[in-house]
Amino acid sequence: GQQLNQSPQSMFIQEGEDVSMNCTSSSIFNTWLWYKQEPGEGPVLLIALYKAGELTSNGRLTAQFGITRKDSFLNISASIPSDVGIYFCAGQLRSGGSNYKLTFGKGTLLTVNP
Amino acid sequence: DAGVTQSPTHLIKTRGQQVTLRCSPISGHKSVSWYQQVLGQGPQFIFQYYEKEERGRGNFPDRFSARQFPNYSSELNVNALLLGDSALYLCASSSRDPAKDTQYFGPGTRLTVL
């Protein structure tokens, strides 16, 4: 099945550093979502973006919906050990039709060294 | 309020067997979607139901089927299991038409096919 291009695949950083990850698609979405998944858990929604160009923050997390509607990025500032996990981007095409599935990237594995 | 619940947590089956996975959405949510997550990949869309009607189907064989009950809970059935069906099966719910609302995930059911 289709998956979005998410990079980097993994990151190993020191506590306190900033993190940036991004997601690109060959097709347009009108909603971008960022989820975090920890071992043995389902993905937890972090940020939802509904408009091209939208910049949204949730605490130390900031995400933007690209102007072309084919990309999005997520930044984490001042990382802490509990930021460890796999971060997934997901695109959704909401239209008048049906099948509002989420299309996911392969994930970015974040490791934070205390 | 309780989140999305799924049962069982873990399941071990052998090739050729059949399996039924269950999902209860967040109270008040009317839409349920099913995703398959193979190790190291992002979730892949299988089915979506809204108000007990199938809204969409991903690129999965006919061995996969699902249904939604009047109380909005859902079951995913997989027949003639293959080794490649081993994965984490995730259920997500949203409150209204999934075109208008965000999907929230349960913890998943880990299926192992031997």
Average pLDDT by consecutive 10-residue portion of chain B (114 residues)? 91 98 94 94 93 90 97 97 97 76 91 97
Partner residue opposite A101 with nearest CB, options B40, B48, B106: B48
Quick: pLDDT tens for A65-112.
999 999 999 999 999 999 999 999 999 887 655 557 899 999 999 999
Residues of B in contact with A101 (CB under 8 A): 33, 45, 48, 56, 58
Quick: pLDDT tens for A7-21.
999 999 999 999 999
CA atoms within 13 A on the CB side of A26: 2
- Map B2-63 to HEC letters: CCCEEECCEEEECCCCCEEEEEECCCCCCEEEEEEECCCCCCEEEEEEECCEEEEECCCCCC
Q: In this predicted structure, what is the pLDDT of residue B109? A: 98
Nearest to B64 by CA among A29, A1, A3, A96: A1
Give the whole-angstrom CA distance, residue A89 versus residue A113: 23
Tokens of A93: 């095409």
Best to test chain B binding among A102, A103, A106, A108 (most B CBs inside 10 Å): A102
Q: In this predicted structure, what is the pLDDT of residue A26? A: 92
Q: In this predicted structure, what is the pLDDT of residue B17? A: 98
CB B48 within 8 A of CB B36: no
Instruction: Tell me if A33 and B102 make a contact (CB, 8 A cut-off).
Output: yes
Instruction: Tell me if A102 and B105 make a contact (CB, 8 A cut-off).
Output: no
Q: In this predicted structure, what is the pLDDT of residue B56? A: 86
Instruction: Tell me if B43 and A105 make a contact (CB, 8 A cut-off).
Output: no
Residue of A nearest to B34 (CA): A101
Number of H helices, E strands in chain A: 0, 11
- Tell me how close the Cα of B111 comes to any Cα of chain A, in angstroms: 12
Phi, psi angle pair for A82, to nearest 5°: -75, -5
